[in-house]
Amino acid sequence: MNKVEGVILDWAGTTVDFGCFAPVNVFIDIFKKSGIEVTMEEARAPMGMLKKDHIRAMLSMPRISALWEEKFARMFGEEDVEDLYAEFEPALLSSLSKYTDPIPEVVETVALLKDKGLKIGSTTGYTQTMMDIIVPSALEKGYQPDFYITPDETNSFGRPYPYMIYRNIEFLQLSASWKVVKVGDTVSDIKEAVHAGVWAVGVLVGSSEMGLSHAEFEALTKADQKVIISETAEIFLENGADFTIRSMCELPALIEKINFLVSEGKRPGTK
């Protein structure tokens, strides 16, 4: 039948860890230890990528690259990427278990989608070692996809490459890319979906792109919430998202809308 068969979800900022704070704070810390002060915005910009690629992307930013050259009298190299990552991984692993709470509405929404017969896959920017902490902890709290994969299993080609999505499609036996919906909270998630030819959906509240904790979001006035939701949505749409949803509870209704589009012959990127 011409309808959605599977949904592929990101992890931090989409299904667990509201605001995606676990890795961001560590990125800031490791650069600070090297004598480089980076901003929260700079640390968040490459979110969703494999973490080593994330470090490389930060070092390539003009301001950070200039600061690095000023401090060390040379451009950064791959050895610097490796050194920073060597600091990053153990620091993240030591704190990761604190950031595995499912985001509100996720557990209920996933259960509803599974009841409707949809298969639930996932991709991530985390390594397998990191997921060995996250997956069992999230399971204890009620969240478990049918399949997940890390860039470790795609020769370290993480987002925005589409290979993790392809592996989901294969394992879950989904019959066509246009019958798959990818939901994520970063620009890297959207690009991954676009490159794979699946429906690209950005989730707004709790996203890394929005970058607010649950308390910070709730402290905003309704008007300010509306503004930041709109601004975040625009970023996703500008980068190729087919749709955005405020939160996960809107996903089942969106899938029904996509089912109608698919039945009309529409494909991702052409609605």
The H or E element that residue 133 is part of is helix 128-140
10 is catalytic: yes
185 annotated ligand binder: yes
Catalytic residue among 51, 179, 182, 191: 51
DSSP 8-state symbol, 16:
B
**Contact partners, residue 81, CB within 8 Å, separation at least 6:** 52, 55, 56, 59
Catalytic residue among 10, 17, 53, 242: 10
Pairing of the two strands 6-9 and 180-184: parallel
Tell me the three state secondary structure of residue 46. coil
Neighbours of 27 (CB within 10 A): 24
Name the phi and psi angles at 72, rounded to 5.
Answer: -105, 0
**How far is CA 105 from each of CA 31, 102, 133, 246, rounded to the nearest angstrom?**
35, 8, 22, 11
Neighbours of 77 (CB within 10 A): 11
66 annotated ligand binder: no
Query: What is the C-alpha to C-alpha distance for residues 227 and 205, in angstroms, rounded to an integer?
Result: 12
Residues within the annotated binding site?
10, 12, 185
Residues within the annotated binding site for Mg(2+)?
10, 12, 185
What are the catalytic residues? 10, 51
